[in-house]
Structure 1
Amino acid sequence: MDADEDKKSPRNSAQVNGDEKESVGVMKSLRRSMRREAVMSLISPKSKGSKVTHKGDTKESEPLFSPQPPSPNPSTGSSVYSPLKSAASFRGTKGDDESDVAQRKSKSPDLKTEPNLSRLANPLKRSFKSIKKVANDRFSRQQPSVVVLDESKEEEEILEEMEESYKLPDIPHTPLSVMQISRLIEMEVLEEGYLNLLALRLEFQQFSKDSPMELAKMEKDLNLLYGDLRKKVGAIIRDSNSFPSRNKGLLPHVVRIIQEEERRAEEAGGLPDSWMDAWKEAVVEGVRAKVESVHLEEQEHNTSWLSIHLGLLGKAIVEDLESVRRELRWSYPPSFNVFSTYVNSYHQVVGHHLRKLEQRVAKLKDLHALLDWIVNTYKSERVMGSVSLQPDVQVERLDLQLEDGFLTELKERYCFKVKEDIRLSLDRLTDLENEEFWSVNKPPHKDDEFLSAKFPMDIWTTLEGKFSGSRKIDAQLEQKVTSACLEELKHFPKRFEEEFRRNRSNTLCTEYQITYINSFTLLQTHIESYQEACPDQVEGFRKEVKSLILRLLQRLEDQFKEDVKPYLRRMMTRKWLSHDEDFASLYTRAEQLSEHCDLMRPPHAQEMASQLHYHVVKEYVGQLMKDTYRCSDRKRESAADKIRLQWNRLRKLFEDMGSLYEWLHPVGDDLSTIIMSKKTEIKDNIWPLVLKYPDFSKKHLMALLDFRGLRRGREHRLILQTFSNLKNGRGTVDTDQSQVFFRDIPVTVNTDFLSNLPLFCLSVLRPDS
């Protein structure tokens, strides 16, 4: 214990003297034991010679953790000062040296007379001094040092970083042998080994160039010794945070060696590369060893292997940096920026570690876990943003040091995997639909009185899960994932349709088609919510769904048209006038259509009802334009009444179905009026048809008159003349193309030649009746 500590200590001096006497007794016993071991070791044949050898089986002695005393053979004026710290960290006290020398003189006179052991005196002295210094330091640590500032204040321990300044101890005149220096380095007696290495280096610098062989040998020895020192220093630094108590006493020596070598970088005999860079590399190696020691299970043994490993990795990083911040940083001067160096090392090492992990990742969930850990978790309070590391961790320097393009590559791979996963999910839904419904003819479900399938909600839920997961990573990835998913979804309607046509059942084909019209309409409604984010992909999906729905609707319409075709063909015939079976069958089939429309969601129910409404009335009226039946005077009123009755029944049915073609309703009444009118009244009743249906032509009028039984005569001529005048009076009026009706009805009755005959000829052929 030095004088300054004595002044500050409030302990009783008698107690201190007693403790010191006890310590001296212990020291004498240790000194005798160590002298015998050191002498036997140093005089062994292995210690002779100047070559450096490395023995793997050499037993390491316990390292001396306290700073070493100066070499006993200093040269005058050899003390070298750096611009940093006092000499106290490298030397023992003067009192200890004098006491130790006196005791050695009285107990080891043989060293003066024995020539073979005289050269061992200096190393033994230094070893004994070191042992005593360790003992004194331990003794000092056992006695609490308390500075009494006030009776009410408690004891406080204030930790400070090492001072930058230091004074190098005296360098020996004559260095130890190469083997001895190597042994000191191996035994981690770093200060003494380094001072002798510097002495050897000075000899090298001052050695005459006239002896190139000797010079080359000395240079080789220096390189070997410096290599050993570099390895030892690197090992201590690498393990400094793994074994802090073991290396705490060695780090100050390591730090001073690094500082001194950096100062002597331009001098000959040293290593060419930077010792500070070597220190940083050793820190990186220590961090790498820590990262690689984190438990990592095999994928086959645990499906959550990656999430578990990343959780343990984050915990290990925080614990290691906490240790650096709490203990290790105090063994370095501020210029080393120890904590920042360790943080940067973790950025670098973890970045490389994640690249290795990425090569083992095959599943989408593991890719997501890896991305989320890189982008979010690493910078969060669970790792680098931990409260226990604040405020030393700089917020702006929390990013991992990843390889160029690695994160972009990882995101692209994630998007591709999401797209692949979506396709598999969609195919599974199609297979499930086949297993549950098509293959067993199971009726589809109803939802709010409409036929519906479950897969639209399943698809939407799956997509939202993918989008939500990517959104947690970053907005850019969410955009890419959304685009990729919708691009894959665009191909689903056509693939679904192909599977349905391959496996559908004829028994419930109509119900299934209505179900999928409803389901894809609902799915499109969900997808419309992504219009702003991905307009092109949404538009592409919209077109595919529209095409599918049109094809399904067309099949329903074609099936209905095929069913009612024989009934419509027998309208406006002699049998039709006397029997109602065909119309009853037509009406029954139309009622079934109405029931199906009730199961279809708008607007497609109205669209299909409108299209089939148009088809039925067009085919019904079309029978009037064919030369299949001609009414006599006594039959025309019955025919007109029947047309009006059947027309109104059809009109009411299609109104209930929600047909949008209300403009078709007056056609039946207007035609019936003309059929039942007298000849002289017909020309006054044709104007509603001309006004409401501009596409009603002269041929249609002549066919209608032929059905009524009026094929020629004066009135026939006047009716056609009146029609022409009405058409000319309208002029060229723009026709609403959505309300074209008669233009689509072909006329098969040819009576044009009769209309062109002069009026007197017609009167000769047939008198007016």
Structure 2
Amino acid sequence: MNRNTELDPRSITSEPASLTNSAGEEKMEVDSELSSPTLHSGESGFFERGIKTMLSIRISKRSLNKEKGKEGTGTWKGKRLSLRFSKSYEENKTMICNGTEKISEKIAAEPIQGKPLSVMEINELIQKRQLLEAFASIRYLEDETIAERDAEKYKDNPQEFVRKSRDVDLLYNSITKAIQSIVVGTLEHPTVEDTMLTSLVTLIAREEAAHPNTGNAARPGSDLLGTPRKWREEWREAINESARKRVQRVPMASKEEEHSWLDLHLGFLQKHLSQDLLKIKLSVKKCYPEEYQVCDMYVGAFHKAIASHLQDLSQRPLEFNELYTLLNWVANTYRSELFLGHPDLKPEVKTEDLSLLLTPADWDKLKNDYITSAKGKIKSYFGNILRLEVTERWEKEVHPEVKENLYHSSLSFDIQTIIGEHMKISGAISRSLGTKMLELCLAELHEFIPRFGEEFVAWSTARDSPIFAPYFTAYINSFHDLLSALETVFKVNTEELQKILATLTRNFTNIFLNKLRTKAQPLLKKILTKDWILATERPDSLASAVSQFSKHLQHMREPMGQELLRDVHKYVVREYIMQVIKPRGKMNEETRQRVSEKMNEEARILNNTLIDQGSDSDWLLPAIHHIADIIGEKKKDKIKEHVKELCQDYPDIRKEHVLAVLALRGLGRTRRAAIFRQGCRALESPDSGVGSTLFTEIDAPVIMSCF
């Protein structure tokens, strides 16, 4: 080391005239320096306390005499000297900002020149961020102490060696803290201090050149003189600390203050850190050589800080929407063009080699919590559908819409929307999560449909509402659409759901038919009564009552609408005939004519009404007309022809049915038997009764006759 340094006149005049001053006077001088306002920054507090404690120890008379003997020899305690540095600093600064060459190779060959200053003067340089000058002086002091140690100068005074070694260590630690402060503060200020960062790179390079890493760590209990200070590692740790602080400072409202607190917080995190990364790319990167890989270092640091922050967030008791927000941000926002993948950050910011933000265990836990939370959410959504149906449609008796001649309910659409949206957003996070969400929705649907059916049955049973039949029809249509959509759109096996809907449809249909019977039975029971014969009832009364229900079936999706309309048509004709053939008193000719005419008129109105509404059961049309013709026929010989036609059109008719009709006509037992034998020979055929049946479902009355 070059020790031919020039003296600083200020240093010379500041020395005491005599080195025989008392230790107390020297202590006062040190205390005065330590109390200087320039040394009271928060960052240097720890260092100052260490220096002050160390130097406030009373120096022995013997030590003072030794120092006196060394006056003028250039030792660090005897003089305060100025430093001279090579002109290569500015050259290095330029190369660093361009980021094109390694600093360490050039610095390693440069001698670290300088003359020692006092500990407090070096500390002042550090506080003023004149780190290169401070390092040169510390290095000078370190080399001198090493040389004196190797010369066994401290053999008789080991405490002096310990003190000087500690001075060096504390000063190096102070520079370490300054490095950390500079790096952490890089992103805190609106602009980047290029000169400070380039000086920092030069400082690290000079330290590495001065303390080559030989791989030999300091021995326990030994001094740290000459050992690497690993400032590049400190620089990396400072970047990690900077990232951690930046992430922690992102605004986050409480759940009580803002319902969407997590969504807002992640938005702020995304915005602020994007600005930081852009600043690093445009302003910070150019101050470091390529070997520092500054952008990769900062991206890695932010990645670790965000990962730690998200892990903390995931441990909170999160609700369904919050769990989705967190999962979606990790899966679809973090690496996308909305954040790290933004075009403005490329190509410096790379995401390919980044590790997972959350551990597989934490990720799986979040997904499981999400599905568990979704169960209650889906149940509540389905519950809202039912509540709206009750309050906004049933209770207000709002008629359903007609679309393409079909009664329409939003039930299927609402259910599909709930399933589709939740499956979509979950599948965007991961395919397995989308599958689990679909399975959950189907399980909840299997519970919801019976509950919905129970509510509809209870409501329809409790009141006679004109909108029952329209909504019965609309819901049957909606269930059909739902099954079709689940099979085609969602590719679901609907076997279990079909069973549930079949039971529900059967229950709804039974209620529909029961309500129809309730309306029709009073009118059917009046057939052939005195009031009915005297025409006090309108001939279209029965058709009108039936039509209150049957007219809605034309708005039901095929094939069920047609099938149910056939059942209604058959029910009315069957019940009509059943009332007609009941045993009654004998009618005179005039009454028989009136009965025949009215039966034909009512049958015509009833059949025309049902056919107009879409019934294709035209095979039922002649049944009542045949019986009416038999009752009203004046010529007994022609009765046989009417009976023959009846038996031909309805081969399932039995002998008891024919005899009951003939008894109503007023024929005796012998005559009835003869007509039956002549007109209904087809009933004895083995093929009789094949095809549609009507009379099979009609109980034949017992005819009591004495002649």
User: Under a length normalisation based on structure 1, what TM-score does the superposition of the two structures give?
Assistant: 0.67
1:628-647 pair list within 5 angstroms = 628-629=584-585, 639-647=595-603
- The range that moved more, 574-583 or 376-385, is 574-583
Match of 1:749 in 2: 702
Shift of 1:379: 2.0
Tell me: CA distance 1:461–1:113, structure 2 relative to 1, closer, same or farther (3 Å): closer
Tell me: CA distance 1:701–1:61, structure 2 relative to 1, closer, same or farther (3 Å): closer
Tell me: CA distance 1:520–1:642, structure 2 relative to 1, closer, same or farther (3 Å): closer
Question: Is 2:503 aligned against 1:563?
Answer: no
SS of alignment partner, residue 102 of structure 2: coil
Cα distance per residue 1:160-219 (max 9 Å; x no partner) = 2434525266699x9999999999988853455367658878999999xx99x99x9899
| C-alpha distance in structure 1 between counterparts of 2:15 and 2:185, whole Å | 28
Alignment partner of 1:653 out of 600, 603, 609: 609
- The range that moved more, 467-476 or 250-259, is 467-476
Match of 2:622 in 1: 666
Match of 1:160 in 2: 100
Whether contact under 8 Å (1:569, 1:623) holds in the other structure is: yes
Whether contact under 8 Å (1:457, 1:523) holds in the other structure is: no
1:534-683 pair list within 5 angstroms = 534-536=490-492, 544=500, 547-572=503-528, 576-579=532-535, 581=537, 585-594=541-550, 606-629=562-585, 639-673=595-629, 675=631
Tell me: CA distance 1:32–1:180, structure 2 relative to 1, closer, same or farther (3 Å): closer
Shift of 1:229: 7.1
For 2:470, give the aligned amino acid. I
Tell me: CA distance 1:191–1:404, structure 2 relative to 1, closer, same or farther (3 Å): farther
| C-alpha distance in structure 2 between counterparts of 1:35 and 1:534, whole Å | 91
SS of alignment partner, residue 519 of structure 2: helix
Question: Is 2:270 aligned against 1:320?
Answer: no
| C-alpha distance in structure 2 between counterparts of 1:525 and 1:613, whole Å | 26
Tell me: CA distance 1:119–1:501, structure 2 relative to 1, closer, same or farther (3 Å): farther
Question: Is 2:202 aligned against 1:252?
Answer: yes
Question: Is 2:704 aligned against 1:719?
Answer: no
Shift of 1:668: 2.2
Alignment partner of 2:657 out of 700, 704, 707: 700
Match of 1:264 in 2: 214
1:14-413 pair list within 5 angstroms = 32=9, 44-45=26-27, 59=40, 115=69, 118=72, 121-122=75-76, 128-129=82-83, 158-163=98-103, 165=105, 166-167=107-108, 188=131, 189-190=134-135, 192-193=137-138, 234-242=180-188, 244-245=192-193, 246-255=196-205, 257=207, 263-269=213-219, 280-330=236-286, 332-359=288-315, 362=318, 364-394=320-350, 396-397=352-353, 400-413=356-369
| C-alpha distance in structure 1 between counterparts of 2:433 and 2:630, whole Å | 71
Unmatched 5+ stretches in structure 2: 1-5, 18-22, 45-65
| C-alpha distance in structure 2 between counterparts of 1:164 and 1:438, whole Å | 83
Whether contact under 8 Å (1:204, 1:218) holds in the other structure is: no
Whether contact under 8 Å (2:600, 2:625) holds in the other structure is: yes
| C-alpha distance in structure 1 between counterparts of 2:239 and 2:693, whole Å | 87
For 1:295, give the aligned amino acid. P
Shift of 1:404: 1.9
Whether contact under 8 Å (1:306, 1:369) holds in the other structure is: yes
Match of 2:60 in 1: none
SS of alignment partner, residue 108 of structure 2: strand
Shift of 1:617: 0.9
Tell me: CA distance 1:702–1:62, structure 2 relative to 1, closer, same or farther (3 Å): closer
Cα distance per residue 1:128-157 (max 9 Å; x no partner) = 215x669x968x999xx9xxxxxxxxxxx9
Tell me: CA distance 1:408–1:527, structure 2 relative to 1, closer, same or farther (3 Å): farther
For 1:703, give the aligned amino acid. A
Tell me: CA distance 1:315–1:626, structure 2 relative to 1, closer, same or farther (3 Å): same
Shift of 1:274: 8.3
Tell me: CA distance 1:295–1:680, structure 2 relative to 1, closer, same or farther (3 Å): same
Shift of 1:749: 1.1
Shift of 1:716: 1.3
Unmatched 5+ stretches in structure 1: 1-27, 64-111, 146-156, 755-764
Match of 2:50 in 1: none
Shift of 1:374: 2.2
| C-alpha distance in structure 1 between counterparts of 2:499 and 2:14, whole Å | 93
Whether contact under 8 Å (1:296, 1:309) holds in the other structure is: yes
For 2:83, give the aligned amino acid. K
Whether contact under 8 Å (1:622, 1:746) holds in the other structure is: yes
Shift of 1:347: 1.9
Whether contact under 8 Å (1:640, 1:673) holds in the other structure is: yes
Whether contact under 8 Å (2:116, 2:138) holds in the other structure is: no
Tell me: CA distance 1:577–1:503, structure 2 relative to 1, closer, same or farther (3 Å): closer
| C-alpha distance in structure 1 between counterparts of 2:683 and 2:454, whole Å | 54
Tell me: CA distance 1:58–1:504, structure 2 relative to 1, closer, same or farther (3 Å): farther
Tell me: CA distance 1:576–1:445, structure 2 relative to 1, closer, same or farther (3 Å): closer
Whether contact under 8 Å (1:384, 1:393) holds in the other structure is: yes
| C-alpha distance in structure 2 between counterparts of 1:158 and 1:276, whole Å | 19
Tell me: CA distance 1:272–1:195, structure 2 relative to 1, closer, same or farther (3 Å): closer
| C-alpha distance in structure 2 between counterparts of 1:540 and 1:717, whole Å | 58
Match of 2:377 in 1: 421
For 1:615, give the aligned amino acid. Y
Match of 1:518 in 2: 474
SS of alignment partner, residue 609 of structure 1: helix
- The range that moved more, 181-190 or 502-511, is 181-190
| C-alpha distance in structure 2 between counterparts of 1:276 and 1:402, whole Å | 28
Shift of 1:500: 5.2
Determine what percentage of the aligned residue pairs are the same residue.
Answer: 24
For 2:138, give the aligned amino acid. G
Whether contact under 8 Å (1:444, 1:453) holds in the other structure is: no
Count of aligned residue pairs for this structure pair: 650
Match of 2:685 in 1: 728
Shift of 1:620: 0.9
Tell me: CA distance 1:248–1:164, structure 2 relative to 1, closer, same or farther (3 Å): closer
Shift of 1:650: 1.2
Match of 1:96 in 2: none
| C-alpha distance in structure 2 between counterparts of 1:436 and 1:512, whole Å | 14
For 1:410, give the aligned amino acid. L
For 1:251, give the aligned amino acid. V
Cα distance per residue 1:716-765 (max 9 Å; x no partner) = 1573487466433427x8x45xx3322221123157xx9xxxxxxxxxx9
Whether contact under 8 Å (2:183, 2:239) holds in the other structure is: yes
Whether contact under 8 Å (1:171, 1:198) holds in the other structure is: no
Whether contact under 8 Å (1:350, 1:400) holds in the other structure is: no
| C-alpha distance in structure 2 between counterparts of 1:195 and 1:690, whole Å | 130
